[in-house]
């Protein structure tokens, strides 16, 4: 997003309706909502789009298994998403459903344009399909010869007539786009992955299916009624069909003349950063300005899945800990693009520490000081006289903050914003307003209180997009309202707060002592069980090195009375004293032949008693029908040398 641009288009992926909303959906949507709110606050004409992805085999099967029609089932789940976003106060401007008639018309139009251009042709598809990911794979891409490399579920063989999109034609154009547009895919690391993928060569893409029905039909002009569109083609188009593509194009200006920020998870980056721009190239439309791929959330270190029963329900978390606290946590906890772990402990720490101690407590301190020194009245008249340095420092921080938000580095944005809170809290310690009051320097004490109030005002405006209600409460306490106008006054023009009487508010972030939600017991998924099976009997290198094998020099060897098998050995393994080892090798070695030779000894075995004699290790040997051989170094080694 560029600050000079006036039109901003922010999108989330459209969510499949085979499942109810979870933390992953909430995360993407909250990032998008934050950007949209910020964009509006700074005066951009903003359009924020979200919605649901309702076609395809996965949805058809999910509906069938519940004895529902796909439409009725989609209506229900799509409704759940919409309700949740409304409960979460998500400020979307449009909620699109791929079953909307308007959407279908626009997708058909797009298909027609690409077909007429010669980018679509009919052929036979043969390959593997993962219904869960709605993705085609070739044999070599499969995991374990039959499973989806992304989700691990078994794929099915598909052999059917299909229309193809000539994706390979756009390889060079895509590579040029990545290299000419530094921030077209964020973060950088993810962009490099995309570039490497494209450089390996792109296969043309099957974009229609004939083996099921639940999808958008091809345009009538093509007259091939047994085909429905591949769900990803249908779904990706939503970003322009929502703006009226091919119909009433009034809102297409958001796409054509605006800055677009498309948010999504890393798992669907390939669709967005390769297929989608290629479709747009074919349609001769501008490409997105930024495609931002975030990482995945795990729970207490484990991948979330329905079968494990450990999926984080965002509504439950928001109800238990506060919606805005949850928003803050999601954005602050992990760098954009990296995976993050959800745990109640981490959330509680953020609430108690960042929000309670740093932010909430600052407001309490201002209320306390102003109440004690000046009847709750705060005036910025002496602010610059005593605190120009601190005000300048805060303004400098704010100048760099905007770059972070535009680069989707929301965690850096929050981290740096918190530096202003640190500055405010430190200023109280440094200037000791209570001492100033004792010394009769009330002006100085109140200038400090004004400094802290002004710093908090700046923070509340900059934090507004993340915590809309909480920051408005803070602003009201400080005698103003957060609007585009106050943003311009206080942030852009760096104006100080007008004189005001602070309003007392109850603590904003009461301390949380214990986890509020019950944590699920983790159970392994099918894929993990399969992995476990595959790795049964396999050890890691670290596990191997738990066994300490050493070169042992045999000093003495004696027969053990009454035993046909055992010899009693004295071996040197480089320790203070030789060890005694009882070895079952009598049938194969005469005692005398062993003395002075070396063998490998497992040196960290728990000592054992064999026929009443202590044995402090085990010699390694290989035995087959020809006999037994001790495992020895090829040439003599110092006693005690580690083997491994």
Query: Residues interacting with ligand MSP, by CB under 6 A?
Result: 13-16, 24-25, 27-28, 53, 235-236, 238, 264-265, 267-268, 296-297, 304
- β-pairing, 302-303 vs 297-299, is antiparallel
Q: By C-beta, is 24 or 578 nearer to ligand MSP?
A: 24
| Nearer to ligand MSP among residue 13 and residue 258 (C-beta) | 13
- End-to-end Cα separation, the chain, in angstroms: 55
Peptide bond preceding 100 in cis form (omega within 30 of 0)? no
In the bound complex, what is the minimum distance in angstroms from residue 621's beta carbon to ligand MSP? Answer: 51
Between 14 and 452, CB nearer to ligand MSP = 14
CB of 238 to ligand MSP, least distance (A): 6
Q: Which is nearer to ligand MSP, 346 or 437 (CB)?
A: 346
Q: Which of residues 214 and 386 has its CB atom nearest to ligand MSP in the complex?
A: 214
State the nearest-atom distance from the C-beta of 239 to ligand MSP, in Å: 7
CA–CA dist 402, 492 (Å, integer):
11
Q: Which is nearer to ligand MSP, 20 or 555 (CB)?
A: 20
Torsion angles phi and psi, residue 376, rounded to 5 = 70, 10
3-state DSSP of 31-52: HHHHHHHHHHHCCCEEEEEEEE
Give the shortest CB-520-to-ligand MSP separation in angstroms: 15
Nearest-angstrom CA–CA distance, 1 and 13? 18
Best CA proximity match to 594, nearest among 540, 556, 631: 556
- CA torsion sign for 424, 430, 434, 436 is negative
* Smallest distance from ligand MSP to CB 32, Å: 10
Residue 279, beta-bridge partner list = none
Closest approach of ligand MSP to the CB of residue 467, in Å: 21
**For 246, left (φ over 0), alpha (ψ -120 to 50), or beta?**
left
Give 531-593 as a DSSP string: HHHHTTT---HHHHTTS-EEEEEEEEEEEPTT-SS-EEEEEE-SSSS-EEEEES-TTT--HHH
Burial 57-92 (b: 16+ CB within 10 A, else e): bbbbbbbeeeeeebeebbbebbebbbebbeebebbb
Torsion angle defined by CA atoms of residues 316, 319, 323 and 329, in that order, rounded to the nearest 10 degrees: -60
Distance separating alpha carbons of residues 90 and 74, to the nearest angstrom:
21
Minimum Å gap between C-beta 228 and ligand MSP is 16
Distance CA 76, CA 57 (A): 18
Q: Which is nearer to ligand MSP, 24 or 187 (CB)?
A: 24
Q: Which is nearer to ligand MSP, 134 or 572 (CB)?
A: 134
Minimum distance between the CB of residue 417 and ligand MSP, rounded to whole angstroms?
Answer: 24
Shortest distance in whole angstroms from residue 240 CB to ligand MSP: 11
Minimum CB distance to ligand MSP, residue 39 (Å): 20
In the bound state with ligand MSP, the residue whose beta carbon lies nearer, of 279 and 480, is 279
421 conformational bin, left if phi > 0, alpha if psi -120 to 50, beta if neither: alpha
As beta bridge partners, residue 340 has 297
By beta-carbon proximity to ligand MSP, the closer residue of 77 and 383 is: 77
- Least CB distance to ligand MSP at residue 513 (A): 28
The answer to whether 137 touches 149, Cβ cutoff 8 Å, is yes
Q: Which residue number places its CB atom closest to ligand MSP?
A: 265
Q: Which is nearer to ligand MSP, 312 or 397 (CB)?
A: 312
């Amino acid at each position: 997003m560029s600050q000079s641009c006036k039109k901003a288009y922010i999108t989330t992926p459209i969510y499949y309706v085979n499942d109810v909303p979870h933390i992953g959906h909430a995360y993407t949507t909250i990032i998008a909502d934050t950007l949209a709110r910020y964009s509006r606050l700074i005066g951009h004409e903003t359009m924020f789009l979200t919605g649901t992805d309702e076609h395809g085999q996965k949805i058809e099967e999910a509906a069938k298994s519940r004895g529902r029609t796909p439409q009725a089932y989609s209506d229900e789940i799509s409704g759940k998403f919409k309700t949740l976003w409304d409960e979460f106060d998500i400020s979307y401007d449009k909620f699109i459903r791929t079953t909307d008639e308007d959407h279908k018309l626009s997708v058909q139009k797009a298909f027609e344009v690409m077909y007429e251009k010669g980018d679509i042709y009919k052929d036979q598809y043969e390959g593997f399909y993962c219904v869960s990911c709605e993705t085609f794979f070739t044999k070599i891409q499969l995991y374990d010869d039959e499973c989806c490399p992304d989700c691990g579920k078994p794929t099915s063989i598909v052999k059917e007539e299909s229309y193809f999109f000539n994706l390979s034609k756009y390889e060079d154009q895509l590579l040029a786009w990545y290299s000419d547009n530094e921030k077209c895919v964020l973060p950088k690391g993810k962009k490099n992955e995309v570039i490497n993928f494209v450089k390996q060569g792109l296969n043309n893409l099957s974009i229609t299916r004939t083996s099921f029905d639940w999808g958008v039909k091809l345009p009538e002009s093509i007259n091939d009624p047994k085909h429905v569109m591949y769900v990803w083609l249908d779904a990706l188009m939503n970003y322009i069909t929502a703006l009226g593509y091919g119909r009433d194009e009034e809102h297409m200006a958001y796409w054509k003349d605006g800055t677009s920020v498309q948010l999504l998870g890393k798992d669907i980056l390939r669709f967005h950063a390769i297929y989608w721009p290629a479709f747009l190239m074919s349609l001769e439309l501008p490409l997105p300005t930024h495609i931002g791929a975030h990482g995945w959330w795990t729970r207490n270190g484990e991948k979330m899945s329905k079968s494990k029963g450990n999926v984080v329900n965002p509504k439950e978390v928001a109800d238990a800990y506060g919606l805005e606290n949850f928003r803050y946590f999601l954005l602050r906890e992990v760098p954009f693009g990296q995976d993050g772990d959800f745990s109640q402990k981490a959330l509680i720490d953020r609430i108690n520490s960042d929000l309670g101690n740093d932010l909430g407590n600052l407001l309490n301190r201002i209320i306390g000081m102003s109440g004690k020194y000046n009847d709750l009245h705060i005036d910025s008249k002496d602010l610059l006289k005593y605190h120009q340095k601190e005000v300048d420092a805060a303004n400098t921080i704010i100048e760099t903050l905007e770059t972070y938000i535009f680069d989707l580095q929301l965690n850096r944005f929050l981290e740096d914003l918190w530096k202003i809170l640190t500055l405010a809290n430190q200023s109280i310690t440094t200037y000791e307003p209570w001492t100033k009051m004792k010394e009769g320097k009330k002006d100085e004490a109140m200038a400090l209180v004004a400094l802290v109030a002004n710093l908090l005002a700046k923070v509340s405006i900059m934090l507004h997009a993340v915590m809309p209600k909480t920051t408005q409460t803070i602003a009201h306490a400080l005698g103003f309202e957060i609007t585009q106008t106050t943003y311009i006054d206080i942030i852009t023009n760096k104006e100080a707060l007008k004189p005001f009487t602070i309003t007392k508010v109850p603590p904003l972030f009461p301390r949380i002592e214990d986890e509020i939600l019950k944590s699920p017991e983790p159970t392994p998924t099918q894929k993990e069980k399969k992995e476990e099976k595959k790795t049964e009997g396999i050890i890691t290198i670290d596990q191997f090195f738990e066994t300490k094998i050493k070169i042992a020099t045999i000093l003495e060897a004696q027969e053990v009375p009454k035993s046909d098998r055992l010899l009693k050995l004295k071996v040197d393994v480089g320790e203070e004293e030789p060890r005694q080892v009882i070895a079952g090798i009598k049938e194969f070695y005469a005692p005398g032949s062993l003395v002075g030779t070396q063998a490998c000894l497992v040196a960290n075995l728990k000592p054992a008693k064999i026929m009443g004699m202590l044995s402090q290790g085990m010699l390694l040997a290989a035995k087959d029908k020809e006999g037994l051989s001790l495992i020895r170094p090829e040439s003599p080694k110092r006693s005690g040398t580690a083997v491994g």
